Structure 1
């Protein structure tokens, strides 16, 4: 009888241990990794100079051949949305802790880890392409790490003439004669009738992406694979753009005095117009739990 009781107690103990091992109630938080893949359609972008034979060449809806030699963009204001609709912000007011420069030439920049995300089931991801107006100042004191990341190295994600950051920086070449392509987006400043500085073009775009499968945070630390399809740069949901070189009001391939007017078309293609397009070039292609 004692032996039977001993085995029964051991069995109950084993079951209790198994139950504890399968129970993640003690898990308070875990990581979520955002993995960015930059493409032309289903082709991963390879950068190259004007005459490169290995760079990924792409043809726009307007029939223009183009490829990139540099590709960078800023993400910030990251939020994860739970199944019940609760929004979990990730250091949304701190560029040092909650913003990144995605740089196609730097593999390590293509993944961004969100730490200490509360346990739960997540159905949606939101983030900003660029920097919100209230944070878009070159503040080396308040956000020294992001300031250095965006401007003190080869990213050069700062306007030379303004006080804010570049949100997207694309360099490359187009047409068969390899004309220069230089597309920079970012919010601008302007002056009112009294000569006072005011907000000009607001190039920040808030991106909303539904997850194809639930991201379960707890015992697992999911990876969300995000595609940025730069086919949309010239062939977007909002605008079909034909590149033109020069300094006229319709010329858009390189910066000129009229760039801000033409820039909005690129901004709406990349980040959506915030009305009937809130995803722009972005989509979630996989959630790895």
Structure 2
């Protein structure tokens, strides 16, 4: 019992020390940092390998994928206090491309904090598009270079998903093209998604986290809405199917894990 009485003050002191360390950690999150988001494209539980592997969906369609490009935009980070940081709109449009290997984006000058969720759009919102060609900055040229526009009048391709497929009713390899975007104000397919990070992303002058995302290409056709390539292999402007593909695409993203690291990633 005497040993227990002697031990209690030591335990109490240790708890105080740990609490002080927690407070210190909170105080250390000052200044600004960079948040990187990497998009790891998959098909179901398999890595996505362009042209090298075939993947079967629930409709027994076997896909060989040659292109997966999509636009992500309008990023907002929410911290553990419920406060939000909205990334500057003019800089908040990115193209991720499995084809070119550009699947990582960086959000710079993010205020220090413990961030618990991320919100972003899939595509280009009407507000940005209605600024006209001169209001798009360098993003318009980037979209043209990466085959993410039909034309300025027709608008951006939010998603460019292409390859070949076979099925029980289509026995010869057949090209498929799934291009999804908005077509004027009458068909607005821009979607936003909010994802909990699971682990706090710590940002400061010395902390620059990496958020590892997974984008499941299978969800594009085989998500909440089932889209059959055997019925229609080319979908670009469809009042019926394009909005369903937009919903599916918004549902293909998950957060795999967060890596909190130190060092200058600016």
Does the 8 Å contact 1:182/1:253 carry over to 2? yes
Q: TM-score, normalised by structure 1?
A: 0.75
Tell me the residue number matched to 2:211: 224
User: Within 1, Cα distance between the matches of 2:26 and 2:240?
Assistant: 56
- List gaps (5 residues or longer) in structure 2: 1-20, 261-266
Match of 2:124 in 1: 131
CA distance in 1, matches of 2:31, 2:248: 39
Q: 1:65 Cα deviation (Å)?
A: 0.6
- Give secondary structure in 2 for the equivalent of 1:141: helix
Aligned 1:101-250 pairs, distance under 5 A? 101-107=95-101, 109-137=102-130, 139-151=132-144, 153=145, 155-160=146-151, 162-175=153-166, 176-189=171-184, 199-218=185-204, 219-236=206-223, 238-244=224-230
Distance 1:260 1:118 in 2: 41
Cα pair distance change 1:113/1:46, threshold 3 Å: same
Say which SS state the counterpart of residue 189 (structure 2) adopts: coil
1:286 aligns with 2:257: yes
- Deviation, structure 1 residue 136: 2.0
Question: Contact 2:67–2:161 (CA<8 Å) still a contact in 1?
Answer: yes
| Residue aligning to 1:267 | 246
Change (3 A) 1:145 1:178: same
Larger relative strand fraction: 2
How many aligned positions are there? 233
| TM-superposed deviation, 1:268 | 1.2
| Cα-Cα RMSD | 2.1
1:77 corresponds to: 74
Deviation, 1:260, is 3.2
Residues 123 and 200 from structure 1, CA distance in 2 versus in 1: closer, same or farther, beyond 3 angstroms? same
Using CA pairs below 8 Å that are at least 6 residues apart, which structure has the higher relative contact order?
2
CA contact (8 A) 1:252 1:262 kept: no
More displaced stretch, 73-82 vs 131-140 = 131-140
Q: Hey, what's the Cα distance between the residues in 1 that align with 2:68 and 2:173?
A: 17
Q: Deviation at 1:167?
A: 0.3
Match of residue 48 from structure 2: 45
Q: What is the distance in 2 between the residues matched to 1:179 and 1:138?
A: 39
2: CA distance, partners of 1:37 / 1:156: 20
Q: Give the Cα–Cα distance (whole angstroms) in 1 for the partners of residues 188 and 33 of structure 2.
A: 34
Q: Aligned partners of 1:217 and 1:288: how far apart in 2? A: 11
Shift of 1:225: 0.4
- Using the TM superposition, give the Cα deviation of residue 27 of structure 1 relative to its aligned residue in structure 2, in angstroms: 3.3
Checking the alignment, whether the CA contact within 8 Å between 1:138 and 1:163 is kept in structure 2 is no
Q: How does 1:11-30 map to 2 (within 5 A)?
A: 25=28, 27-30=30-33
1:233 match: secondary structure: helix
8 Å Cα contact 1:130-1:205 kept in structure 2: yes
